[in-house]
Amino acid sequence: MVLLLVVDLDPDLAALRPLGGYFLLRTTGGPPPSAPTLAQVYGHQTSDVYGNPLDFRVGKVAAALRAPEPRVAASVAHLGLVARLWSAPLACAVLHGAVPDLDPRLLRWDPDGSAPDDLVLEAVRPLPAERLADVVIDGHLRPLEAALRAGYRLAPGLLRGNAASALTGAARQLERWARAQGRTDAAAQARARTAELLAHPYLAGTGNLTGTAFRRRSCCLYYRVPGGGVCGDCCFVRPPRSSPHAASG
């Protein structure tokens, strides 16, 4: 069964369902019991089913995209997971004044799954909205960055640019939904919270936010995927033709 996160705080959170799977978390079902917690993933613990879960996910992405090298797939995999980790907490903070406790020990991840079937939260424990940065940045982004840098040649600037890109993408989707619902207060709060988070030391300097438009100062390397091109917020206007390691940081 798929439940919207912190449904106990406000059942109207069901209105977020049109935003898609990135804003949903399972609280029952979802990944099999053998799926590791994100705490285990960040701690480099192996799984009987997946081996190293991050390596499994990177390999899955690499095969799907025909990525030319592992670090390209690792960056794309990172961007997808970080988008999941930002979306629901940001929506909860804006609409409910609370965020779920996403303690990595409570969050199971299936590296072979896709949203919303990749994550399950084992206990719903609301925290003040002011804890949003602590929950996502300190609880997940920092240890995930360390885990990926240990296995792949990814610069901190690239990974933090991915985190900022995922945040602003979630915020745009949330703001569009809020305006469509006549919730101009929520739209304004989504924009304000995003600007505040981008000023956090972890994300400061990753790019420029103008209204809802974000331009990052790094590149996620997606242009190196066959037929990939550049993303809408990329630092490049067109795919670079020089060094394959350009804009990696």
Say if residues 249 and 191 touch (Cβ distance below 8 Å).
no
Q: CA-CA distance, 223 to 241, in Å (whole number)?
A: 10
What per-residue confidence (pLDDT) applies to 247? 46
Can you point out the beta strands (E) in 117-249? 119-121, 126-128, 207-210, 213-216
Q: CA-CA distance, 170 to 184, in Å (whole number)?
A: 17
Q: Give SS3 for 249.
A: coil
What per-residue confidence (pLDDT) applies to 123? 81
Choice between 38 and 234, residue whose per-residue pLDDT is larger: 38
What per-residue confidence (pLDDT) applies to 211? 85
Q: Would you kindly state where each structural domain of the chain is located, as residue ranges?
A: 11-224
The rounded radius of gyration (Å) of the Cα atoms in the chain is 17
Bridge partners for 210 per DSSP = 213
Q: CA-CA distance, 96 to 83, in Å (whole number)?
A: 20
Q: How many CA atoms lie within 13 A of 183 on its CB side?
A: 17
What per-residue confidence (pLDDT) applies to 30? 67
Bridge partners for 109 per DSSP = 119
4 confidence band (pLDDT: 50, 70, 90)? very low
Could you check whether the bond before residue 100 is cis, i.e. omega within 30 degrees of 0?
A: no
Max intra-chain CA distance, the chain:
53
Q: CA-CA distance, 220 to 241, in Å (whole number)?
A: 15
Could you read off the pLDDT of 68-100 as tens digits, one per residue?
A: 999 999 999 999 999 999 999 999 899 888 898
